[in-house]
Amino acid sequence: MRVLSKKNIMILAGLILTFAIVYALRNFGILTSFHEITIAMVCINIILGVSLNLITGFTGQLSLGHAGFMAIGAYVCALINMELNSTFGFILGVLAGAIIAALVGVLIGIPTLRLKGDYLAIATLGMAEIIRVIFLNLEITNGAAGLNGIPRYTNWFWLFFFTVTTVVLISNFINSSHGRACISIREDEIAAESMGINTTQYKVIAFAIGAFFAGIAGALYSSYFYFLRPEIFGFLKSIDILIIVVLGGLGSITGSVIAGILIAVLTAALQSFAALRMIIYALLLIIIMLFRPQGIMGTKEITDLLNFSKRE
């Protein structure tokens, strides 16, 4: 069985250890609620970063609207969970949120993904803005006041579970023939088409998968923080996610994981200096682009660096 390769066993061991350590620290009361929020944000950031990286880093389609999909997942999950206040309701909410986000992704992707580069960026930005305005005006989402008293089911177990699942599934995808089809679009769209890749279809697929996981991140978010407001999912949230992807490296899952952690910690540390935090983010973006456009990892993965076994 190739699933039980040496590499996978080591990864599994690492994961169990991580889970156990955080679990123990929590139960011994060493983690404050501030730490816990940071850990939750680490997980949510990783899911968001990795899913946007699939769209922007691997498939090469700059999206400035990832927060829109997150919003859909958040609202759908919260509404279901408020009706159905149980773990089952929570899981149902997460899945429904993710699926609806993916459907919206397909719906929006089909017309907009024909656009190139900058135009696509603006179209996705516009789409997220439209989603936000809709939530702002719907009765069921309670408009600008938002939803309050959402039951909390997001805990360390679920955060960990969904983060690991996201990373594993998206890495599997990237390393499959379908994933390579997506990557070929980033490399050279015309050549990809001429080699038999239906580029529009694969862009939409990447977009939908990315939206699906962003929906999960949104659902976890809503079930962790008790409340939702449309303005949480504005343009700046999309930029936050983009920063994770760019800092980690467009086209590196490992990079998005590292950057997801860094940004969560940085955000927590600068919590009470909102403007300063944004100035630092802005400078970070500019400096990375000017001096290290490949980000922390470039397109490398941790498995390339450790070289457990020669890459297939």
Partner 1 sequence: MLIIDKLTRSFGGLTAVSNVSMQINKGELVGIIGPNGAGKTTLFNLLTGVYEPSSGTIKLELNGEEVNIGGLKPYNVTKAGLARTFQNIRLFKDLTVLDNVRIAMHQNVQYKLPSSFFRFNNFYQEEDKLLEEAEQLLDIFKMSHKKNELAKNLPYGEQRHLEIVRALATKPAVLLLDEPAAGMNPFETEELTNTIKWIREEFDLTVLLIEHDMSLVMEICERIFVLDYGMLIASGTPAEIRTNKRVIEAYLGEDVSNA
Partner 2 sequence: MDQFLQQMVNGLSLGSIYALIALGYTMVYGIIKLINFAHGDIYMIGAYIGFAATTYVHLGFFPALILSMIVCAILGMIIERVAYKPLRNSSRITVLITAIGVSLLLEYSMMFFVGAEVRSYPKVLTNHLFHFGGVRVNMQQIYILVTAVALMILLQYIVTKTKTGKAMRAVSIDKDAAQLMGIRVDKTISITFAIGSAFAGAAGVLVGIYYNSIDPLMGMMPGLKAFVAAVFGGIGSIPGAMIGGLAIGIMETLVAGYGNSMYRDAAVFAFLILILILKPSGLLGKNEREKV
Q: Which spans of this chain sit near partner 2 (rule: CB under 8 A)? A: 56, 60, 62, 64, 111-112, 114-115, 117-119, 121-123, 125-127, 129-130, 133-134, 136-137, 190, 235, 239, 242, 246, 250, 275-276, 278-279, 281-286, 289-290, 293
Which partner in partner 1, partner 2, none is near 271 (CB below 5 to 8 A by kind)? none
Which partner in partner 1, partner 2, none is near 252 (CB below 5 to 8 A by kind)? none
- Taking residues 245 to 284 in sequence order and writing x for each that binds partner 1 by CB under 8 A, - otherwise, the string is ----------------------------------------
Q: Concatenated DSSP letters for 236-280?
A: HHHHHHHHHHHHH-TT-HHHHHHHHHHHHHHHHHTTT-HHHHHHH
Question: What does residue 250 show for φ and ψ, rounded to 5 degrees?
Answer: -65, 115
Name the minimum Å distance from CB 52 to partner 1. 18
What is the identity of the amino acid at 85?
Answer: N
Does 199 contact partner 1 by CB under 8 A? Answer: yes
Among 12, 144, 187, 276, binds partner 1 (CB under 8 A): 187
What span, in angstroms and rounded, lies between the C-alpha atoms of 11 and 253?
Answer: 15
From residue 192, how far is each of 59, 258, 299 by CA, in Å?
12, 30, 19
Long-range CB contacts (< 8 A, 24+ apart) of 279-287? 281/239, 281/240, 281/243, 284/243, 284/247, 285/243, 285/246
- Taking residues 135 to 174 in sequence order and writing x for each that binds partner 1 by CB under 8 A, - otherwise, the string is ----------------------------------x--xx-
Please, which residues bridge with residue 147 across strands? 228
Q: In terms of CB distance, is 84 or 122 closer to partner 2? A: 122
Q: What is the dihedral of CA 208, 213, 231, 36, to 10 degrees?
A: -170
What span, in angstroms and rounded, lies between the C-alpha atoms of 264 and 280?
Answer: 14
Among 43, 102, 181, 204, binds partner 1 (CB under 8 A): 181
Angle between helices 235-248 and 66-83 (to 10 degrees): 120
Q: In terms of CB distance, is 59 or 222 closer to partner 1? A: 59
Chain residues in the site for partner 1 (CB under 8 A): 2-3, 169, 172-173, 176-181, 183-184, 187-188, 190-199, 205, 299, 311-312
